[in-house]
Amino acid sequence: MTIKDVAAAAGVGVATVSRVLSGRGSVSPKTRDRVLVAVRELDYRPSALGRSLKLQRTGSLGLMIPDVTDPFYAALAGGVLACARTLGEHVILDVGHDDTAREAEIVERFLEQRVDGVIAVPAGGDDAIWRSALRAGVTVVFADRGLAELPEVPAVLADDRAGVRSAVEYLVGLGHRRVGLLGGPASGAPGTPVLTAREEGFRATLRDLGVPVDDDLVVRARPSRDSAYAAAASLFQRRPDVTAVLAAGHLLGEAAVLAARELNLRVPADVSIAMVDDVPWAELCDPPLTAVARPAADMGYRACEVLLRDPARRERGRPVVLPTELVVRGSCGPPAGRSPRG
């Protein structure tokens, strides 16, 4: 079924069919109807392939996230889908697993597909991919993480520094003096400074509040559940004097909760726990976890908007920074110390 068949069936030229279907140009009501009838009769569906080829525009955008299974990125993807829908675009999704080689393949594919734009949560450490995309003429927008090497690529970020600050201020306000940070790129490519904003925010806030920063309380995990758990458990064991810990991501928060439970530490009686990323389980935990909510869906939505309808913002490469919110629940309380080994 092609436009030709419809034209033949309706006894008109292909241009006319195109005109009635696209609504552009003028056609007499009579012929319009004839065409419409033929379309229904033949169950005709215009091929996006033909159109895209002609128009040099596919109506599709590529979305690359590290992992669909991660509730944060899933929410981000949801935001992108919502926005894309309102703008009449569809989205090609793929997961890079923070592996630059894989990311390169994915972006390459996006380019071959001639997507109208790309939204990506980049692993970092591979500006080559993105430069190549830029050279090819696709517009790229980063979400959740920006790349310092590529200031020309607009980014939509959460205000991590402020988020961490609010959490640390809350903890210190509760009376904590020895608060640990469970950090490191629990998500993010190995070796990249992805999460340093959080660690920096942590240190800066402590400093501002006049609380001494104990480097021994700042631990970094590699981006795996095992590593996160090991980091959390070792922190709790090595330093029975920590009264509060801030996890710089939901994987790390999960590890903290699990490790505390395993070591029979009561939360918040023995140790207070807070984390960055207000994922759904935070509320189901017992006690429910205090968390810094980053607007994942909004970030996705916004990134899509910037990509598709904000050329102005796109030009000047200043990132869009969205606010975070501290959601206080029951996992933090005043410090009470604990006997060594809980």
Partner DNA sequence: GTGAAAGCGCTAACAT
Partner DNA sequence: ATGTTAGCGCTTTCAC
Binding to a second copy, residues 284-313 (CB under 8 A): 284-286
Q: How many chain residues touch a second copy (CB under 8 A)?
A: 46
Of 22-30, 130-138, 154-162, 182-190: span binding DNA (CB under 7 A): 22-30
* β 290-293/325-327 pair status: antiparallel
Residue 320 is classified by DSSP as: E
Position among 40, 54, 135, 316 found at the interface with DNA (CB under 7 A): 54
**Start-end of H helices in the chain:** 3-10, 14-22, 29-42, 48-55, 71-86, 100-112, 127-136, 160-173, 196-208, 225-238, 250-262, 281-284, 296-309, 311-315
148 binds DNA (CB under 7 A): no
Binding to a second copy, residues 6-65 (CB under 8 A): 43, 45-50, 52-53, 58, 60
Position among 3, 150, 218, 291 found at the interface with DNA (CB under 7 A): 3
55 binds DNA (CB under 7 A): yes
d(C-alpha 232, C-alpha 84), whole Å:
39
Binding to a second copy, residues 149-178 (CB under 8 A): none
Query: CB-wise, 13 or 78, nearer to DNA?
Result: 13
Residue 20 Cβ vs DNA, minimum distance, rounded to whole Å: 8
d(C-alpha 13, C-alpha 276), whole Å:
61
Of 21-29, 79-87, 90-98, 313-321: span binding DNA (CB under 7 A): 21-29
Binding to a second copy, residues 68-87 (CB under 8 A): 68-69, 71, 74-75, 77-78, 81, 85
Position among 4, 97, 207, 261 found at the interface with DNA (CB under 7 A): 4
- The length of the chain in residues reads 342
Q: Which residues contact 172 (CB under 8 A, 6 or more apart)?
A: 179, 205, 206, 209, 211
Of 24-32, 62-70, 215-223, 266-274: span binding DNA (CB under 7 A): 24-32
59 binds DNA (CB under 7 A): no
Residue 339 interacts with which of a second copy, DNA, none, CB < 5 to 8 Å by class: none
Residue 111 is classified by DSSP as: H
| Phi and psi torsions of 83, nearest 5° | -70, -45
Whole-number Cα distances in Å, 108 to 43, 80, 100, 142, 342: 35, 20, 12, 16, 52
93 binds a second copy (CB under 8 A): yes
24 binds DNA (CB under 7 A): yes
